[in-house]
Chain A
Amino acid sequence: MKRIDAIKAVVEELDDELVICNIGFPSRELYSVKDRDANFYMLGSMGLASSIGLGLALSTKRQIVVFDGDGSLLMNLGSLVTIANQAPSNMILIVLDNASYASTGGQPSYTAGKTNLAKVAMSVGFENVFEVETVAELKKSFRSAKGKLSFILAKVEKGNADVPVIPLSPYKIKRRFMKCIKKNQSLSLDF
């Protein structure tokens, strides 16, 4: 499956989940599939999608979905250890694994070699780990991942979709994201 098709498959399953999306083409592809106030598009800080997702998951009851990449996660592998130990039940970490650094010219990553990130996740303590290769498998795993800390390794083809740069300022991305969290939190208060 193409990465943009994997993103689309997950987006079709979304309701009011908060999404943190990795830097580069994944964010651009997500924006072009479906822009939502509840999408946080990373513009820098490569590697930190899963960490931002963890901080968010520990601060709100909402379901958090993180789109990470193989190269990005390899840059911050310690994050997997922290997440597995903190184990927030409201976080799904999806790694779109194209075994390459596609945003910078397609250099191979080590997941093209001996490393399998689903096995890494399992060995550091993740209990719900999925490895999927098709849209149908991805949708199925995503549905059963809700409500418990989960790791989904989605193997995708190399290459980027032909999608434009996100025309939103960083401040705009942040403000509308935070506003949408606040709005929903005040709705869920127990009166």
Chain B
Amino acid sequence: MRTLHNTGFKGAVLRLLAHVILSSLLEAKVDFAVSVPASLFAEVLMKIESYGIKHVIVTREEEGVGVAAGAYLGGRRPAILMQNSGLGNCLNALLSLNKTFGIPLLMLIAQRGWRREKIVAQIPMGEATIPILKAACIPFYLPGSLQELSVEIVEAAELAWVRELPVAVIVREGLRNEENRRH
């Protein structure tokens, strides 16, 4: 089942992005994913189980961080797929669960509130996403091309597992990797 807005050029871009993300998750040996819906990841979330990755839809990002932590304790390599608007919803868990116990988590964060954002409510969190990650001492990657995205998902997962902490990969429409500037 393909939703209507995923047709045409935009649909092709989302499918290409999904292919790169899913192949990279497999290369990173991710076998468990939790998600809160994000339009940029629509194709990824639709296909993820067909890549052999166990997928659990959660009601809120913090819950997802907990489910992923439990999966890690049970021997899995989990990732969370979410939108940056949910970063604030899960900060306490990332710090008082993952960072406290040394529980790794690969975070794929679709960033809204960036260029040409039409929804005004997305902009404040869009501007604050990178400063929040920095303040929380959560390492992050900001890939600027599909090639960088594929390499950095694998690198981020390795970093998360070696250092035993959450590591984020920020995915922007158009994969622009400039740091935030004033709009």
Contacts and interface: CB of A to CB of B under 8 A. Distances in A.
Given A45-B92, A48-B93, A56 B66 contact: no
B176 interface: no
A55 B78 contact: yes
B116 to A, nearest CB: 32
A51 interface: yes
Nearest to B64: A51
B58 interface: yes
A86 B64 CA distance: 13
Contacts of A79: 59, 63, 66
B101 A55 contact: no
A174 B32 contact: no
Q: With a 10 A CB-CB cut-off, give which of B34, B69, B102 has the most chain A CB atoms.
A: B69
Interface stretch (A8-16, A101-109, A131-139, A177-185): A177-185
Interface in B57-114: 57-60, 62-76, 78, 92-93, 95-97, 100-103
A157 to B, nearest CB: 28
Contact of B54 (A58, A170, A173, A178): A58
For chain A, the bracket of interface size reads: 35 or more
Interface in A49-65: 49-60
A174 B104 CA distance: 12
Contact of A170 (B60, B76, B93, B100): B100
Contacts of B71: 55-56, 58-59
B62 A82 contact: no
Contacts of A173: 101
For chain B, the bracket of interface size reads: 20 to 34
Contact of A54 (B67, B76, B93): B67
B102 A174 contact: yes
Q: With a 10 A CB-CB cut-off, give which of B57, B66, B92, B103 has the most chain A CB atoms.
A: B66
B97 A55 contact: no
A181 B73 contact: yes
A56 B96 contact: no
Contacts of B92: 44-46
Interface of A: 20, 40, 42-60, 76, 78-79, 81-82, 86, 170-171, 173-174, 177-178, 181-182, 185
